[in-house]
Structure 1
Amino acid sequence: MNAAVTRVAAIGDLHVQEDGSVSYRDIFAEMSERSDVIVIAGDLTDLGKPAEARLLVEDLRASRVPVVAVLGNHDHQSDCVEEVSAIIREAGVYLLDGTAVELKGVTFAGVKGFVGGFGRQMLASFGEAAIKAMVAESLNETIKLENALRQIRTPKSLALLHYSPTADTVEGEPPQIWPFLGSARLGEVIDRYRVSAVVHGHAHHGTHVGRTAGGIPVYNVARHIEKPEGRPYIVLKL
């Protein structure tokens, strides 16, 4: 393997459940054998419970490479975000939230992201206070992403999200729910900083590969998505 190449194994939407019915230990071990860094694109837990986070970090002990992650919407469900985040970070995971980390010559810039829609269907800040609050949250996540991208100092970089920055990779989901699967605002920021690639999850029935409006490759790595190698994860070479 060329020393200049960094292998990144990416997966999303693990939805680890409290009953421990599904273990990812073998998958993490396999991913670490095939990569230099593992990234997880949100929905680490099913209901955002601390007990689920503890099960996840037990499985992550099988990894022998650094792990980078962002939270997803499911990780917020039980209003235990701070505790869940602390459990994950204490296990040595680089949990990003508008922040970045440089590993193996690649800068990983991450944020959960939020809803908002794409193109002419993008939600505007107009009308009821609840709608304005939703758009404000979408803008806030976009600003956090930009703050993370500003920290890039390496030629190679990866944007790690839960929500999609492009309609390309939500195609396959019912069009009625596309506005709840991501926001083109995220893609607009990514295009300004010209990252090497983007990975996200959330759209379980979406499309594996797409591009931002500016042509940057985007990979939907939700565990449920069919991928070229038939594995629940992909390996990107950066």
Structure 2
Amino acid sequence: MADTPEVVRLAAVGDIHCTKTSQGNLQPLFSKITESADVLLLCGDLTDYGLPEEAHVLVKELAAVKIPTIAVFGNHDYESGNPEAIEQILCDSGVTILNGDTCEVQGIGFAGVKGFAGGFGSKALGAWGEDIIKNFVHEAVNEALKLEAALAKLETPQRIAVLHYSPIQATVEGEPPEIFPFLGSSRLEEPLTRYGVTAAFHGHAHHGHLEGRTRSNIPVYNVSMPLLKKAFPDQPAFRLLEIPTTP
């Protein structure tokens, strides 16, 4: 398209954990993002306890954002059993929530899912034994299939994956090894490779690593706000990446 820019600036952050008392706390961050970026990606745990009241506070904070905003949910957004209400509140404010869905902004394609746990590589949990274990693995597989189906719909030259759980172990390292299986699933990596994703963003691992790469060399960015604050204490807590609209 004639009006498609050569480069799109993506700002990404996850784990903002908006509470009922967060009024005014996030506006400075969102104002800076609006000044710096063309698109905002929110990588899950938008709320702290998954309460509609928290979502209403977040909407007020997001009023400072004047650019397209794309989000996925995280585990915290499900805590109180109100994800549909939270989604409606955010969608009514103009946020695009992806849950196995896609959207295109300025020539860049975005596919998003929450993802799920299960572990990585040869240590990933298998669907064997009790039904509850099989159900757990089934959830991880379903999230990967949702991501794959979404990526398959995108026809843009550049594809971005927006997740909450990590698709690789490298970006969760720094957390206690005992909880690695609960921070992501390598089943999410396979669709990234199959569809040649340009980059993937996730949150959830507050003490992980900022960056890693899939086995096929796709960059993966951990944009958990607590991690960004620790790594860049003198900078606003978001990751900025420039994506050319053509490879």
Partner of 1:85: 87
User: How much has 1:231 moved relative to structure 2?
Assistant: 2.9
Q: Do the aligned partners of 1:41 and 1:201 also contact (CA within 8 Å) in 2?
A: yes
SS at match of 2:225: coil
Distance 1:22 1:16, change over 3 A: farther
Partner of 1:194: 196
SS at match of 1:52: helix
Of the three residues 110, 135, 138, the one matched with 1:136 is 138
- Residue pairs, 1:77-226, within 5 angstroms: 77-226=79-228
Partner of 1:234: 239
Partner of 1:20: 22
Q: Do the aligned partners of 1:117 and 1:178 also contact (CA within 8 Å) in 2?
A: yes
Separation in structure 2 between the aligned mates of residue 108 and residue 212 of structure 1, nearest angstrom? 18
- Which runs of 5 or more residues in structure 1 are unaligned? none
Q: Do the aligned partners of 1:204 and 1:224 also contact (CA within 8 Å) in 2?
A: yes
Q: Do the aligned partners of 2:42 and 2:72 also contact (CA within 8 Å) in 1?
A: yes
Moved over 4 A (4+): none
Partner of 2:57: 55
User: How much has 1:189 moved relative to structure 2?
Assistant: 1.2
- Which runs of 5 or more residues in structure 2 are unaligned? none
Q: Do the aligned partners of 2:46 and 2:73 also contact (CA within 8 Å) in 1?
A: yes
Separation in structure 2 between the aligned mates of residue 95 and residue 203 of structure 1, nearest angstrom? 21
Cα displacement string for residues 198-224 of structure 1 (whole angstroms, at most 9, x for unaligned residues): 000000000000011211000000001
Cα displacement string for residues 62-97 of structure 1 (whole angstroms, at most 9, x for unaligned residues): 011000000000000000011011101111101000
Return the TM-score normalized by structure 2. Answer: 0.93
Separation in structure 1 between the aligned mates of residue 115 and residue 22 of structure 2, nearest angstrom? 28
User: How much has 1:119 moved relative to structure 2?
Assistant: 1.1
User: How much has 1:3 moved relative to structure 2?
Assistant: 3.1
SS at match of 1:167: coil
Q: Do the aligned partners of 1:198 and 1:217 also contact (CA within 8 Å) in 2?
A: yes
SS at match of 2:171: helix
Return the TM-score normalized by structure 1. Answer: 0.97
SS at match of 2:41: strand
Q: Number of aligned pairs? A: 237
SS at match of 1:19: coil
User: How much has 1:20 moved relative to structure 2?
Assistant: 2.6
User: How much has 1:230 moved relative to structure 2?
Assistant: 3.5
Q: Please, what is the CA RMSD of the aligned residues?
A: 1.3
Q: Do the aligned partners of 2:144 and 2:188 also contact (CA within 8 Å) in 1?
A: yes
Q: Do the aligned partners of 1:16 and 1:22 also contact (CA within 8 Å) in 2?
A: no
User: How much has 1:30 moved relative to structure 2?
Assistant: 0.6
SS at match of 1:54: helix
User: How much has 1:22 moved relative to structure 2?
Assistant: 6.1
Identity of aligned residues (%): 46
SS at match of 1:64: coil
